[in-house]
Amino acid sequence: MAEFPFEISPMFEGERVRKDGMFVELGGPKSLGLELVRAKPMDEIEDDKVTIIGPDLKEMEEGKTYPWAMIFHIGGELVEPDLESVVERRVHDFINYCQGIMHLNQRYDVWMRVSKDTASKMDSFEPFGQAVMMLFKTELPFIEKMQVTFYTDKAEVEKQMEEAKEIFKARDARTKDLHDEDVDVFYGCTLCQSFAPTNVCVVSPDRISLCGAINWFDGRAAAKVDPEGPQFEIAKGDLIDAEKGEYSGINEIAKKLSSGEYDKINLHSFFEYPHTSCGCFEVVGFYIPEVDGIGWVNREYQGMAPNGIGFSTMAGQTGGGKQIVGFLGIGINYFYSPKFIQADGGWNRVVWLPAMLKEKVDEAIPADLKDKIATENDATDIESLKAFLQEKEHPVVANWAAEEEEEEEEEEEEEVAVAAAPMMMPAAGFQMPAMPMMSGGSSGGIKLTFKNAKITIDRMIISEKKEKK
């Protein structure tokens, strides 16, 4: 192995570079971050070449954030365009093998940090680029030649970002006419388990990976060229529930990969045994009980959702490979799936999206709902969201009346039950004083109404008020 100014090992996966130990930040929520892999003929690739367009590491100011783009070109006899996204997703792995360099997210959401210690050992990104390419060619031998260009110039990063998004869009469109019932196998991905040990990422034709980088075709290509790699086949097994997307094969792999933490995953349910959430997800969904609806917020949105919580906070409590009822991480392309949270109402249950996300997925939103889903321009808290949904006659509003009627019926039943129930026998040693009759009526007694209540009483004292003689 060639000599590098920092250590390289899988043991550094999951290493976090905190702000106080950071030399520079690349991409992330305060800037632009991109990674892209493109297949090219081998005679067009200068093997191991690293090009830097914009300020190099030694020209950067400590503590600052810079725009960042990584464009890798790969070539080889077995290299084909279908493998681009597969190789791209391994960027996360191999960068995190490098001591003192943290990599999060994917595609156009890349967030990196270089530690002060690592920066003190090198004055250029060149050895970093060479180390990552060495790891790629060692771990994925079908890559015979590789070169990389790092962009830190803002104008150049913006240009690369615009071109890359068109490439990502074309990739995602491939699964449009392929559905879960059309295939015999799904694919799994364990790339995020270094950060989320119990995460079980299942990729099906109707559900892209949480990071948005791996679709069903990508999983198939990856499993073919690297059978022992992080993408692998999952036998569907028996279909248990078509609406929820429950398969016996997924349940088996969930139990195995989560070390027994979970034994059931429904691909298309928000509430019942939902898919685990890693942390690299592009969007997080959150239930809003006050309106019985679901909101979604994307990583790029810096504001607060109507529940008073921002993306980073919700991502923190949702991610880590947990299965959280009421929160769900997804890849953006899942919005386009005909099975999008179909077990819980699909788009009819969506009540709020940031304006930037709503614009991005505009084509996925049913025409009759586009004006009924609020953004931060329409609602910033629960009360304004309620008012908006009522004004627009959103489908969830019809559920409110039904729920109120049901609650009233339950209340009446509880009142009858309390009135008709015999007095419970007190515990031994407890002396119940005589209950005074209520004045002003012939029926007497006490009326107790409990509505959706859970009451714990450590001690209750009932005494009779005696009149003075």
pLDDT tens digits, 69-98 = 999 999 999 898 888 988 998 898 899 999
Q: Is residue 34 predicted with pLDDT exceeding 70?
A: yes
Structure pTM? 0.68
CA distance 218 to 22: 34
CA distance 103 to 157: 18
Q: Is residue 438 predicted with pLDDT exceeding 80?
A: no
Which of 293, 298, 285 has its CA nearest to residue 373? 293
CA distance 309 to 372: 22
pLDDT tens digits, 309-353 = 999 899 988 888 989 889 999 999 999 999 999 999 999 999 999
The region that residue 134 occupies, defined by phi over 0 for left and psi between -120 and 50 for alpha, beta otherwise, is: alpha
Lowest mean pLDDT among 9-13, 191-195, 377-381: 191-195
Q: Is residue 436 predicted with pLDDT exceeding 70?
A: no
Q: How far apart are the first and last CA of the chain?
A: 102
pLDDT interval class at 432 (50, 70, 90): very low
Residue 235, φ and ψ in degrees, nearest 5: -65, 130
What per-residue confidence (pLDDT) applies to 409?
56
What per-residue confidence (pLDDT) applies to 349?
98
Number of C-beta neighbours around residue 391 at 10 A:
12
CA distance 20 to 43: 44
What per-residue confidence (pLDDT) applies to 214?
87
Q: Is 278 annotated as a binding residue?
A: yes
Which has the higher per-residue pLDDT, 467 or 52?
52
Domains of the chain in sequence order = 10-174 (3.30.1650.10), 185-395 (3.40.1470.10)
Q: Computed over its alpha carbons, how large is the radius of gyration of the chain?
A: 28
CA distance 68 to 101: 14
What per-residue confidence (pLDDT) applies to 466?
53
Average pLDDT for 356-362: 94
What per-residue confidence (pLDDT) applies to 222?
85
Which of 370, 296, 292 has its CA nearest to residue 331? 296
Q: Is 280 annotated as a binding residue?
A: yes
**Count of residues making up the chain:** 469
Average pLDDT for 4-18: 88
Q: Is 189 annotated as a binding residue?
A: yes
Q: Is 201 annotated as a binding residue?
A: no
pLDDT interval class at 408 (50, 70, 90): low
